[in-house]
A = this chain, B = another copy of it.
Amino acid sequence: MAGERVLIFDTTLRDGEQSPGISLNTAEKLEIAHQLARLGVDVIEAGFPIASPGDFEAVQAIAREVEGPVIAGLARAHTADVERAAAAVRDAARPRVHTFISTSDIHIEHQLRSTREDVKGQARAAVAHAKSLVDDVEFSPMDATRADVEFTAEVLQIALDEGATTINIPDTVGYAMPHEYAAFLARLYELVPDLRNAVLSVHCHDDLGLAVANSFAGVQAGARQVECAINGIGERAGNASLEEIVMLLHTRAADVGLQTGVNTREIARTSRLVSRLTGYPVQPNKAIVGRNAFAHESGIHQDGVLKERSTYEIMDATTVGLEGNDIVLGKHSGRHALKQALEDLGLEIDGHALNQAFKRFKDIADKKKQVTAMDLEALVTDELREELRAYTLEWFEVAAASRRPPHARVGVKTPEGEVVQGDFTGDGPVDAVFRAINAATGRDARLREFRVDSVTGGQDALGEASVVLEVAGMSASGQGVSTDVIEAAALAYVRALSNADLRGRRRAAEADAVAAATELSATP
């Protein structure tokens, strides 16, 4: 399947991580970035380094460790942002700074409280500054699809003159229609002939369900980079789904004549990893990666597929890595077998992490006859969540029955190493455990969401619990894995409490950054 290459720019760790309730630590971001490299994306947007020290640290760690893709850091068109982004990505083999400023009047007037002339000046200064620090500079006119095309063209010409090598046209609010977006890009090519010497990129949001279609219309209009996220996560309704745009180009390659560098067989696993670490479920009817995307239910369709698969199938489930993995371990499997199985999954863990994973594996294998590849993924991912100095669940007890209020007792180790106890009589066993944890820790956390999913089928399946709570105005999420739903819930709750602290610190840093932006954008 030859054809011109379309670059896949993954923003799961930047725009995706901006989704409410997601708060990934550095170890989790690294694990996702390594998997994105295995998936074969061309660019990883690893974060927004000025947003918080944690963001900076994660981008830097990815730049240092993850080989293959270009590593990009996001920066507003401000000196401090650009410097911070460049410093974070500096150690990558191929670092990129991605800087942006709005060109729509609605943003210029109401958010930036500035003028078109000022925006041109800021764009010029930011791109020039970025170019003095790294070779590879991407520029985005934010909210472009609601901006005046002539003015946007002027700003793009400036960015190109200052050395931008990629020009990205964001449909920031998910407002564009495919024909409109394609026409906008075509007009930019007319107004800015130099655009032909840069890579044109698309960045579309799914507010009206058109993110993939708009991205594809952009590609047909000449764009050769698509910004997208695993499972389509991101602000509001999210970004274009990486898996959908990739499988569209792959499945229709004979007609479209373009290709990507993605190894499609890594798609399903990447989707599961991102879903698990972010706590964002994938709905069963989600294209490509939903549980039912390849299922046939009606008698007529089943009859057709039995006679000839192509009657109702345009893609093969093995192409996206949904089938064909038959690793199965049991309680007699040793450490070496576990390490080998993990390596087959592309998960390289050693030392303490391997010891921990082996201990967890043995606990699970005692309860569960067969430990599958998907169970191993869940366990290893669960291990990544352990943070130093966080709350830890030590033990719990619950009694529940249909006509008596359930009672729970828990022991939780605090960041200071002390084991505190609490108990509570609640409306349900999970509620009782959560409130007992509040009582033990003295934190006034309020549950916003709670969900449990089974990792695989089967009566003895692992349960993955996901909790979103609010503490002191901050929202934070936590996940936990166990064959016991209540234990999984308690683990998730305690981790969410731990993440709340992290999130509190990060929000404070972001508020400072926004305050700084307001000051800067008021300066001519």
Chain A residues in the interface with B (C-beta under 8 A): 18-21, 48, 51, 76, 106-107, 110-111, 113, 143, 172-175, 177-180, 206-210, 212-214, 216-217, 220, 231-238, 241, 244-245, 247-248, 251-252, 255-256, 280-288, 290-304, 307-308, 310-315, 367-368, 393, 395-403, 406, 426-431, 434-435, 446-454, 457-461, 463, 470, 482-487, 489, 507, 510-511, 513-514, 517-518
Question: Which residues of chain B are within 8 angstroms of A403 by Cβ–Cβ distance?
Answer: 395
In the complex, the 8 A-B pairs of residues with the closest C-beta atoms, listed nearest first: A213-B213, A209-B244, A428-B484, A110-B308, A299-B510, A238-B285, A427-B483, A209-B212
- Given A174-B314, A460-B431, A461-B450: A208 touches B248 (CB 8 Å cut-off): yes
Question: Which residues of chain B are within 8 angstroms of A312 by Cβ–Cβ distance?
Answer: 172-173
Query: Among the listed B233, B293, B299, B447, which residue makes an inter-chain contact with A513, where contact means beta carbons less than 8 Å apart?
Result: B299
Instruction: Tell me, in angstroms, the Cα distance from A430 to B511 when the chains sit together.
Output: 43
Let me know if A241 and B446 touch, CB within 8 A.
no
Question: Which residues of chain B are within 8 angstroms of A446 by Cβ–Cβ distance?
Answer: 457-459
**A248: nearest chain-B partner, CB-CB:** B208
Query: Among the listed B207, B233, B299, B486, which residue makes an inter-chain contact with A400, where contact means beta carbons less than 8 Å apart?
Result: B486
**A301: nearest chain-B partner, CB-CB:** B235
Question: Which residues of chain B are within 8 angstroms of A216 by Cβ–Cβ distance?
Answer: 177-178, 210
Let me know if B51 and A299 touch, CB within 8 A.
yes
Q: How many copies does the complex hold?
A: 2
**A142: nearest chain-B partner, CB-CB:** B300
- Given A280-B283, A307-B110, A428-B485: A247 touches B208 (CB 8 Å cut-off): yes
Question: Which residues of chain B are within 8 angstroms of A107 by Cβ–Cβ distance?
Answer: 304, 311
- Given A446-B457, A514-B299: A286 touches B237 (CB 8 Å cut-off): yes
